[in-house]
Structure 1
Amino acid sequence: MSEDTRISQADFRSRIPQVKTNITQMFDEVRTSQADLKAELSRMRYDS
């Protein structure tokens, strides 16, 4: 394995926790958006 490959693997591993955090935040935002959309849809149904 070349030195560059070793460095990039170590760099990649060091970033994994941050990537997991970002993905978790994305899913939380999607869930929140879905809840907001559902609330908005039910308001629209009641208004019509």
Structure 2
Amino acid sequence: MSLEPARDPSTEERKFPRGLVVRLFAYLVAGHLFAAFLYLLFVLGGQNQ
């Protein structure tokens, strides 16, 4: 039976889980790509009038 010392939450770094950071970055990139695609559609659609 191993006993680990109690961790002090005030000294421990507060980090986001790695999966959450990767997912957030992917959503940001995908969201910006989708917004750029919509912008391109509106720009090209406005030129045809």
Unaligned residue ranges in structure 1 (runs of 5+): none
Unaligned runs of 5+ in 2: 1-7
Task: Within 5 Å, give how 1:1-48 maps onto structure 2.
Answer: 4=11, 7-8=12-13, 11-12=14-15, 15-47=17-49
Structure 1 length normalisation: TM-score?
0.69
Q: TM-score, normalised by structure 2?
A: 0.68
> RMSD value over aligned CA atoms?
1.6
What percent of counterpart residues are identical? 3
- Could you list the per-position Cα deviations for residues 18-47 of structure 1 after superposition, in whole angstroms to 9, with x for gaps in the alignment? 011001000000000000000000010001
The higher radius of gyration belongs to 2
